[in-house]
Amino acid sequence: MRPSGRELNQMRPVSIETGFTKHAEGSCLIKVGDTHVLCTATIEDRVPPFIKGSGLGWVTAEYGMLPRATNTRMRREAASGKQGGRTVEIQRLIGRALRAGVDRVALGERQITVDCDVLQADGGTRCASITGGWIALRLAVNKLMKAGDVISDPLVDPVAAVSCGIYAGQPVLDLDYPEDSEAGVDGNFIMTGSGKLIEVQMSAEGSVFSREQMTSLLDLAQKGVDELVAAQKAATA
């Protein structure tokens, strides 16, 4: 039995509120159980120097957690003068994931920055950030298309992410914090709406896992991503 009482292949409840902030070109508040992330997308008519003049667009991301997103207060990274290694790794992951679903030629020479701010954490913050980040990106690109600034849709395939792991010897979908903190195997699966893999982060946290278990986790991840993509499409319809 999972601590939450969920079935092994059951996601936490997912809710998405779009247009959550006034000024961003695209925004949403995504809630996956008790993990809540505010995602905003900002369009700028510039690109990083390394692709300037190439005609290619760029999508990047930034990630952060509020001091009381967790059960004890975390010091703001700005107060220490630098980002932690975990933060840098996650925001690079989010950027890579989102770019996988973008036709950068169709986007044109402009940059979209997706900011993911964790308001409340209960496991799976990077997965919720990627899933919500895609929604904010979708809404921002819709504005570009409506204004006629892009001719064809640069978003070629939705991107979503979910965690899976081995908890109490069983493969489970969408780990919350009590499961994540005790899982023998923990993984994050980033996929497209068409079922292609973008990135898989898997590690044994105390017990090794078999190829058969890996396959079962992939199957669970596919189910979870299918549900998340359906929620993305419903939120941006």
What pLDDT digit, counting tens, does each position of 53-89 carry? Answer: 999 999 999 999 999 999 999 999 988 888 999 999 9
- Reported as a single tens digit per residue, the pLDDT across 96-109 is 999 999 999 999 99
pLDDT of residue 196: 98
Helix axes 125-147, 211-236, angle to 10 degrees: 40
Asked whether residue 206 carries a pLDDT value surpassing 90, the answer given is no
Dihedral over Cα of 182, 187, 191, 193: its sign = negative
| pLDDT of 217 higher than 90 | yes
pLDDT digits (tens, 9 = 90+) for 131-146: 999 999 999 999 999 9
Mean pLDDT computed over 44-52: 97
> Where does 101-210 have alpha helices with state H?
104-107, 125-147, 177-180
Confidence of residue 205 (pLDDT cuts 50, 70, 90): confident
* 8 A C-beta contact, residue 65 and residue 71: no
Q: Report residue 159 as tokens.
A: 């991107």
> Are the CB atoms for 199 and 187 separated by under 8 Å?
no
| pLDDT of 207 | 82
Quick check: 215 and 159 in contact, CB under 8 A? Answer: no
DSSP code of residue 123: S
Residue 150 has pLDDT above 90, yes or no: yes
pLDDT at 120: 98
Listed residue (158, 130, 153) closest to 141, CA to CA:
153
pLDDT at 80: 86
